[in-house]
Amino acid sequence: MSTMWSALQQAQYIAHHRAVLQAAHVTYRQAVLQNNIQGQQQAVQTAQNAYQAIYQNNNLSFQQPATHPALLNHTFQNPGAQHTIQNHGSQPLGNPHAHNAPLQNPAIQNVTTVRPKVKPALSRTILLLLTFPAQAPRRRRTTRKPKPKQPLKDVPFPFMELPVEIRIMIYRLLLEETSTSLTLLTKGQASQEVVRRGYLEKQQKGHRGRQILLKTVHKAKDKDIIHLQPAVLRVCNSIHDEAIPILYSQTLEFEHPVALQRFLYTIGHDNRLLLQHIALRGWQRDEFDTWKHAFASALERLLSAQKIKSIHLDRHIYSPSDGVPHYPNGYEKLPVDHFNGCVEFWVQSINAAKGKGTARSILTFADRNFGSEDEIAQGDQQFLDRKKTFMENLKLE
């Protein structure tokens, strides 16, 4: 009975180390997959200890002299732990796999030791694990083909993504005349006149009582002017809709009523809706008939300018300070009756549409219509009388 119990303990011991060996194999494979070098080393060490314990146990000679009771307790050394198999009872250790085998004693000379068998598959696993430890699977290097370089594209600047305030500032730099009013002149034959940008200045020769202005049309090569860029209006509809009010809302100055008439005809109805400030210069008495018809036609077209705020009439008449003789008869009373005939229809229409007194607030006259700069500066009585008479007879209500 004692021999069978010892054999059972021996079998349990071997089974324990087989389980340790299999667990070490599983742990090693997991460490390989996780690329854990320390875990691989610990698993190999555990497997070596288990294999050594099994190997030593298989090679044991279980011959135990009766005179050495200390051998009844046999200890198998393992670097990690000690596994002790104790003999329960007074019987010596016997062959663990030979049932009903005779007891070992010095009197028996020929003793056959039966070693417990280890499964071949497990032995091969141990040998492979110890002799050829598995390496972590290397990732296959894949060479990525470089993407072909695409040619740089000319991407337009996202102008419309700018804040609207910045866009308005840019439009003003391109379309506004900042130094003076935007002056428009006529150029060409009388029947083929076109309106162009330019400026007006006094001639160095005079007629009595007449304004003498020298007009100059701007050219692209001129360096003393601000070159506007109305071409920006053709970029797209969005820019056109944002920028066009800036161009037409500034003060537009015309050399005479004919220039104003042709300009209003050229820009069309939609752009006339944007006009706000008109300045008219260059009207004089001996050309009043021509001016009368042109001015009446211009006022008729201005009825569609719903945003109009001011129509300013101005002219320049020479005085002694200009270096020419001063002739008082040059400042005869302006034909206010003729002027009333020109503006009568416009006055009635604008007052009916926007309220009584609107025409008087829109239509204004410069003092130079009634006297020279010297007379104005000195507060000449004749100048004051001319102005008073004209304004009293002007019918703007």
The predicted-structure confidence for 343-361, as pLDDT tens digits, reads as follows 889 999 999 999 999 999 9
Average pLDDT in the 107-135 region? 47
What's the rounded Cα separation, in Å, for the pair 27 and 21? Answer: 10
274 burial (CB, 10 Å; 0-12 / 13-18 / 19+) is middle
Residue 135 has pLDDT above 70, yes or no: no
pLDDT for 81: 39
Which residues face 7 on adjacent strands?
none
pTM score: 0.55
For the four alpha carbons of 345, 346, 348 and 353, in that order, the dihedral sign comes to positive
Average pLDDT in the 237-243 region? 94
pLDDT for 274: 95
Determine the straight-line distance between the first and last CA of the chain, rounded to whole angstroms: 142
Q: Which residue has the higher pLDDT, 143 or 216?
A: 143
Residue 261 has pLDDT above 50, yes or no: yes
Q: Which residue has the higher pLDDT, 247 or 321?
A: 247
For the four alpha carbons of 358, 360, 361 and 363, in that order, the dihedral sign comes to positive
pLDDT for 310: 94
Residue 257: partners with Cβ closer than 8 Å, 6 or more residues away: 280, 283, 290, 291, 294, 295, 298
CB neighbours (10 Å) of residue 244? 17
Residue 330 has pLDDT above 50, yes or no: no
- pLDDT tens sequence across 141-188: 777 778 888 787 778 888 999 999 999 999 999 998 877 677 776 666
- pLDDT tens sequence across 5-36: 466 777 777 777 778 877 877 788 788 788 88
Q: Which amino acid is at 260?
A: L
Identity of the highest mean pLDDT range in 41-45, 64-68, 107-111, 322-326: 41-45
Q: Which amino acid is at 350?
A: I
